[in-house]
Amino acid sequence: MIYLLFNEERYENDIRALLMAFYHGEKILARNITNLEEKIYDYTPSDKILRVIYKGESVSLCLYDNQGKLLGEGCCEQLPKERKAGKDVLKICLYDVLSKVTGKELPWGTLTGIRPTKIPLSFYEEGFSRNEAAENLRKVYKTSEEKIQLCTQVAQNEKRILDSVDYKKSLSLYIGIPFCPTICLYCSFSAYPLNVWKKEVDNYLNALFKEIRKVSEMVKDYKLTSVYMGGGTPTSLEADQMNRLLCVLEQSFDLSTIEEFTIEAGRPDSVTMDKLRVIKAHGIERISINPQTLNQKTLDIIGRRHTVEDVENAFHMARQAGFNNINMDIILGLPGETAEDVTKTLEGIHRLNPESMTVHSLAVKRASRLNQNLELYPPAHHEEVNRMIHMAWKEAEVMGMEPYYLYRQKNIAGNLENVGYAKPGKECLYNILIMEEKQSIIALGAGGSSKIVIPEENRIERVENVKSVKDYIERIDEMIGRKMEKFPNFGIF
């Protein structure tokens, strides 16, 4: 346990995030107390106590062990008044203390946010060069040279792709299909096992059709830029259900303007030739077949209930059906996996030769079965995961791909990142739009979270749908009502 004791709540979340990055998996108990010298807890030998004391514009940071022995300290005499600058200075001071005490350097330095590429992207938008953006990451955030190279390259590719998008009067669309063949060990999405929920799928689709039709009326003056169907696993739908869904979308929206339509066919055990033919017949080019790993023992541990051959067969079937833009997702740091296992996965992906590959670092989410069984599946060491990330980056380069989008999650293995790589021209525009938050995205279906971007006020307004399938079906009018209520306030419809 880390006890975070302070006399002001200023920057509490930022301090907490950096502590979590250094002491991954430790619980943090934060408390604002007036007498910071007072011993208020019974500390155990592994506990640490961080005291943060503000006096006017100065701040001092002291880290103690459970006996009150000082392990490290730092001080900033003049914390800048402006919030962001103050936060950056405080985090550097804390980083130096924690780095000295633990002997660790973090690959991302003091950056703990989800979207680090926003920083170099904003530099490029203001006309600065890649070198200048790199220098900023180096000086202000202590980011490692490897992550600087990655982050500035991703931002360059994002800028090139986003430059062609006209955000005025345009939107993107997300459609959620929350069913999967089985539930993976690490899953924290709104996903429902098909064998239990099969009877509800048509009812779910009827509710979804209602939401699609109503929302299409609301946003009829807007041009659609991209559509993304995720979940869950959309190819859990039968071929005729998928066909009906795509017909309703075509009847409701003008899809002639879209630059990209992606359907996740994540689980190979849900992919059949007749489903692929339906998708292709509707003119959809981009699908994602996600092995996560090509090691059978790991597939069994994570509860995917399909084989490595199923992945390969699904991929070949998709090629046969004419798909020339296929993505594959993999996860690094899966239970029990070593760098050698990852080499095997990467070799398998190389042989299949998809157009893009998305590389995730395992994130242990609170709601997942993995989180409840951590003693059985201890997380991989962050240096090992970083090594795997490096291997995946090199393999992507060999396959002719470049990194084009990047994000980080809470509780991600080794405080690292997820990266999308693609061959030139095969980048997923939707992935960039959702990460960089430049365009409003309307999300339909259970668990959908619509984001309305309000650039003039530099903020995002969210409209949430309920997560449960049952509630979504029963309360569909309320979901539509929420959008009708919120959209007009932000200039939509």
Instruction: Give every CB contact of residue 345 below 8 A, 6+ residues apart in sequence.
Output: 291, 293, 294, 295, 330
> By CB under 6 A, what part of segment 110-149 binds ligand SF4?
none
For the bound state, the minimum distance from the C-beta of residue 232 to ligand SF4, rounded and expressed in Å, comes to 5
d(C-alpha 435, C-alpha 416), whole Å = 16
Which is closer to ligand SF4, CB of 288 or CB of 439?
288
CB of 266 to ligand SF4, least distance (A): 5
For ligand SF4, the closer of residues 233 and 386 by Cβ is: 233
Question: Which of residues 187 and 434 has its CB atom nearest to ligand SF4 in the complex?
Answer: 187
Which residue(s) pair with 422 in the sheet?
356, 402
- Amino acid occupying residue 32: N
Q: How far is the CB of 150 from ligand SF4 (least distance, A)?
A: 25
* Least distance CB 190 / ligand SF4 (angstroms): 8
Q: Which of 86, 116, 232, 348 binds ligand SF4 (CB under 6 A)?
A: 232
Dig out the tokens for 341 from the structure: 């296992």
**191 vs 276, beta carbon nearer ligand SF4:** 191
Q: Which one-letter amino acid corresponds to residue 43?
A: Y
Residue with tokens 């998709």: 318
d(CA 75, CA 52): 10
Is there binding between residue 229 and ligand SF4 (CB under 6 A)? Answer: no
Q: Which residue has the tokens 């209930």?
A: 305
Count interface residues toward ligand SF4 (CB under 6 A): 11
Q: Does 328 bind ligand SF4 (CB under 6 A)?
A: no
Residue 379 within binding range of ligand SF4, rule CB under 6 A = no
Tokens of 347: 């070799």
Rounded least distance, CB 445 to ligand SF4, Å: 13
Q: By CB under 6 A, is residue 215 in contact with ligand SF4?
A: no
Using the minimum distance from each CB to ligand SF4, give the nearer residue, 116 or 232.
232
Give the Cβ contact number of residue 463 at 10 Å: 20
* Cα-based torsion angle of the residue sequence 362, 364, 365, 370 in order, rounded to the nearest 10 degrees: 110
DSSP letters, 113-132, are: SS-TTHHHHHHHHTT--HHH
Which residue, 268 or 348, is less far from ligand SF4 as judged by CB?
268
| Window 169 to 188, contacts with ligand SF4 (CB under 6 A) | 180, 183-184, 187
Amino acid at 288: S
User: Considering Cα of 440, then 171, then 265, then 418, what sign does the dihedral take?
Assistant: negative
In this structure, what token pair is assigned to residue 386? 């970083």
Cβ at position 388, least distance to ligand SF4 in Å: 19
Q: Which CB atom, from 124 or from 189, has the smaller least distance to ligand SF4?
A: 189
Work out which of 117, 216, 225, 233 binds ligand SF4, going by CB under 6 A.
233
Quick count: other Cβ atoms within 10 Å of Cβ 45?
7
- Which of 108, 141, 189, 204 is close enough to bind ligand SF4 by CB under 6 A? 189
For ligand SF4, the closer of residues 133 and 446 by Cβ is 446
Which one of 228-236, 244-252, 446-454, 465-473 is the stretch in contact with ligand SF4 (CB under 6 A)?
228-236
Mark residues 254-283: x for contact with ligand SF4 by CB under 6 A, - for none: ------------xx----------------
For residue 256, the 8-state DSSP code is G
110 or 270: CB nearest ligand SF4: 270
Report the alpha-carbon distance of residue 130 to residue 150 in Å, rounded: 11
By the rule CB under 6 A, 49 interacts with ligand SF4: no
Alpha-carbon dihedral sign for residues 19, 436, 357, 293: positive
Binder to ligand SF4 among 4, 15, 154, 191 (CB under 6 A)?
191
Q: Could you tell me the smallest distance in angstroms from the CB atom of residue 239 to ligand SF4?
A: 19
User: What is the rounded distance in angstroms from the CA atom of residue 153 to the CA atom of residue 424?
Assistant: 14
Say how far apart CA 47 and CA 197 lie, in whole Å.
Answer: 46
CB of 195 vs ligand SF4, minimal distance in Å: 13
**Number of other residues whose CB lies within 10 A of the CB of residue 418:** 21
Give the whole-angstrom CA distance, residue 72 versus residue 48: 11
Within residues 447-476, the interface with ligand SF4 by CB under 6 A covers none
**Looking at beta carbons only, is 102 or 188 nearer to ligand SF4?**
188
Q: Give whichever of 180 and 349 is closer to ligand SF4, judged by the CB atom.
A: 180
Instruction: Give the DSSP letter string of 196-230.
Output: HHGGGHHHHHHHHHHHHHHHHHHTTTSEEEEEEEE
Residues that bind ligand SF4 (CB under 6 A): 180, 183-184, 187, 189, 191, 231-233, 266-267
